[in-house]
Amino acid sequence: MEIKEYVKQQKEALIKEISELKVTPSFVIMQVNDDPASNAYIKGKIKDANEVGIQVELKKFPIDISEADLLKEIEKVNNDSRIHGLIVQMPLPKHINEEKVKLAVSPKKDIDGFHPLSSINPCTPKGIIDYLKSEHTDFVGKNAVVIGRSNIVGKPLAHLLLKENCNVTILHSKTKREDMERYIANADIIAIAIGRCEFLDDSFSYKPTATIVDVGINRTEEGLKGDAKRGLPVALQTPVPGGVGLLTRLSLLKNLLEAYHHEIKD
């Protein structure tokens, strides 16, 4: 099923599920920047939440808020049982330590899945695995190649693919071209998250049965493009736009519900 249709159906199921809950699920977004990309992401998150009946509050702080004051604000939300999730929008200004902030968010409310003790998975990798499962992708004993090793996509995605019993290889900026060609030619699942426009192209060989998951978002004069050239000779290739970005947004809503159910159980 196309990702757009899949996301639409999943959202309809969420609307039904949320409408039957006694307490409305809610989360807070904290923003300490005036970055246009962050503004756009936040707008998207609020729109998605409202669409399915989740309450969301944006707390925008002045750019010169001290680290200590921001940590206090996080603690307040951590201790507020009426709020089930908390996102601190990155990037933060230089005087605030991002790692410290990520660790300050309660693992139970960490719907971004950034906290090492959080049982919640980061949104992009989770969205990818959920979608591939809905497509009945065969994971067991299959060769999965993840290109890119960031903490928010590459590494957690490799971890989730391993959990599904794939043979996982991570390739990165120091991987030699000849090795990359060899791994890609043998791969059943290729996920790319490097931010290099159309890096995967016709110069590589692919298994015709392979799946390419294109995470990359590259802004070009011709609009948004992925890390893979469109129309590669494989069985399934996720589009950009209208692909992994939508799956990531969907995962945030699902993660909030997961946090909600934890909170209610406690």
Q: Which residues bind ligand NAD (CB under 6 A)?
A: 124, 147-150, 152-154, 171-173, 175, 193-196, 215-218, 244-245, 248
| C-beta closer to ligand NAD: residue 195 or 233 | 195
The amino acid sitting at 173 is: S
Q: Which of 31, 45, 110, 126 is catalytic?
A: 45
- Identify the CA nearest to 48 among candidates 1, 10, 86: 10
Whether 237 sits among the annotated catalytic residues: the reply is no
Length of the chain: 266
Is residue 249 a contact partner of residue 45, using CB atoms and an 8 Å limit?
yes
Q: Beta strand pairing status for 211-214 and 236-237? A: parallel
Select which of 89, 108, 110, 229 is catalytic: 89
- State in angstroms the smallest separation of the CB of 19 from ligand NAD: 27
* Active site (annotated) includes residue 45: yes
8 — phi, psi (to 5°)? -60, -45
Give one DSSP letter per residue of 194-206, joined into a string.
S--TT-B-TTS--
CB of 7 to ligand NAD, least distance (A): 12
- Cβ at position 140, least distance to ligand NAD in Å: 26
Q: Is 89 a residue of the active site?
A: yes
Pairing status of strand 211-214 against strand 189-192:
parallel
Cβ atoms of 33 and 93 within 8 Å: the answer is: yes
Give whichever of 62 and 223 is closer to ligand NAD, judged by the CB atom: 223
DSSP 187: -
Minimal distance, residue 122 CB to ligand NAD, in Å = 9
d(CA 198, CA 201) in angstroms, rounded, equals: 6
| Closer residue to ligand NAD in complex, CB, 186/218 | 218
Nearer to ligand NAD, 26 or 175 (CB): 175
Q: Whose Cβ is closer to ligand NAD: residue 43's or residue 172's? A: 172
Catalytic residue among 10, 48, 102, 112: 112
Q: How far is the CB of 116 from ligand NAD (least distance, A)?
A: 18
Bridge partners of residue 146, in order along the sequence:
170, 191
Enzyme catalytic residues:
45, 89, 112
